[in-house]
Amino acid sequence: MVTKLAASALSLFVLFLLAGWTPKVPSSADSSAAELTGHVRFLSSDELMGRGVDTAGIHQARDYIGEQFKKYGLLPGGDGATYFQGVEVVTGAKLKEGSELTIADLRLIPDRQWAPLGFSASGKADGELVFVGYGITAEDYGYDDYAGADVKGKIAVVLRYEPPPKNDRSPFRKHPKYSRHAALRTKADTARQHGAVGMILVDHHSAEEGEKQLIPLRRTLGRSDLGLVVAQITREVLDKALAEKGISLGALKEKIDRDERPASVPLGLRASLEVQIEKVTGKGDNVIGVLPGAAPLSQGEHIIIGAHYDHIGLGYYGTRDGSTEGQIHHGADDNASGTALLLLLAQELSRRPDPLPVSVVFVAFTGEELGLYGSRRYVIRPALSLRSAKIMINLDMVGRMKNNRLMVAGVDTAKEFRGILNQAGSALEVEMRPGVARSDHVSFYDNNISVLHFYTGVHEDYHRPTDTWEKLNVEGIEKISRVVLITVEKIANDREPLTFVRLPSPSGMARPTPTSPPQAPNP
């Protein structure tokens, strides 16, 4: 692996030991803009067909990133002295025999009255049904559908989408530009965190009737390690069962929408839900390059900088607009922008006349959109031991900066981060988010590594074919590169380790903006 090449690589760097390097990107602004534009244009081009996992398009993207790493003189950190690390990814799902849903002794018809969601765990859930509104916990806004509701050991019944916003402070958004709270996997993860053993989704919003309300299995693919059985049901079936109890789900929804206040209630029904899903797997690749620092790779500390380069292909999973299935979802901001910035940082840091005190590992992750597959694989087989990792910096959706505003999540995972960012981001309006958020950095946070997630926020083109390169703010990406470089410089030169902080509650994991589903992002 990379350690075998450490000595020879380090000797090359030592030849250029000079003092006084100042982080900047790169020596010519025009040059860096051209580099960034070239990267994002290629990665989001029609030729790459949306970079869906295990497709010819993403293979081209993989090879392109590997070629750039080689050009910058990075050492290969993948399998067998290559830049590529193989990753098994779930790319499809099939419903197996034995899957069934029974409510109040009525066995429902699959694909007509109910269907599982693709990111459901295989397993069985039996219990009372508890209606928890939209299934949202937004503590920073003071809205919690689970407040006062006991779902432990029970099955949560959750409305699709989210309440309409009542004011500018509201975290909720109107159709079709829903917020992260509407993401299906967010709802399921929230139900699990509150102790539910299962979740049943119901669409009480759209005008569709019967089975047309049910989301196709392929659109909700994802990792099944939530440990939660998740299904969806037509409103006609549930309304009929609730009518005998004198409960109107429609009336409860109207109350929530009107008052923007929870209206959770036990439904007085029991359900038995069993889901058996056969996962269809494909192969992806992380792309890993290592820039040695002043210390030997086997002895010194290192910094990890990552960005996922996969997207959702033709939109058969993950699209925010079902009518666009079959169209190329270009993924310029999500996440050709982060990948381009990763390459720019690798290029700039490799140009240093003197090596940093620590090594830097650059990782382009695969399989993020389907559930953090690439980063989960990397933490199992890292290029350098995670014990020597000082920080993981994640770049995900950094291409739509407005008004010099940059968001950074994970700032409370190390006591030192706020002070560092106050200096590094002094030229920008840096909005520091205390939560960890949801993207590849979570895999590292779960391994007790402090993380920072740089992003510029969600927009109407998120997970739609219209996320194209010409809408990117390339100058904004350059500005972010300066913030990241200064951050890297400060952390690299601090001999003291960062003080890792484990956030105290599940809300610390809440995603401040829907930047990459690990979520099955269909609202």
Helices marked H in 201-248: 235-243
Query: Do residues 454 and 395 touch, judged by C-beta distance below 8 A?
Result: yes
pLDDT at 25: 41
Instruction: Please report the pLDDT score of residue 171 as a whole number.
Output: 80
Domain boundaries, the chain: 2-15+24-91+280-509, 97-275
Look at residue 409 and give its three-state secondary structure. strand
Question: What is the second-level CATH architecture of the domain 2-15+24-91+280-509?
Answer: 3-Layer(aba) Sandwich (3.40)
Strands 84-95 and 155-159, how do they pair? unpaired
Any bridge partners for residue 200, and if so which? 157, 231
Rounded to an integer, what distance in angstroms lies between the CA atom of residue 92 and that of residue 279? 6
Residue 111 and residue 212: Cα distance in Å, rounded?
9
pLDDT the model gives residue 485: 97
- Interval 285-304: pLDDT, tens: 999 999 999 988 888 899 99
Q: What is the pLDDT of residue 210?
A: 66
The closest of 21, 12, 16 to 493, measured between CA atoms, is: 21
pLDDT at residue 15 in the model: 31
pLDDT of residue 13: 36
Q: What is the pTM of this model?
A: 0.79
Q: Evaluate whether 225 touches 119 at the Cβ level (below 8 Å).
A: no
Residue 387: the pLDDT is: 96
pLDDT value of residue 170? 80
Give pLDDT < 50 ranges for the chain.
2-27, 506-521
Contacts of 8 (CB under 8 A, 6+ apart): none
pLDDT at 23: 45
Whether the ω angle into residue 522 lies within 30 degrees of 0, i.e. cis, is no
Amino acid letter, residue 198: G
CA–chain centroid gap for 390, Å, is 22
**Closest by Cα among 234, 224, 287 to 70:** 287
CA pair distance 494, 506, nearest whole angstrom: 31
Which pair of structure tokens corresponds to residue 212?
Answer: 């047309």
- The residue type found at 97 is E
Supply 372's token pair.
Answer: 């953090």
Q: Kindly report the number of other CB atoms within 10 A of residue 226's CB atom.
A: 19
- Domain 97-275 -> CATH class: alpha beta
Rounded to 10°, the helix 29-43/338-350 angle is: 140
Cβ–Cβ < 8 Å for 442, 311 = no
DSSP-derived letter for residue 500 is B
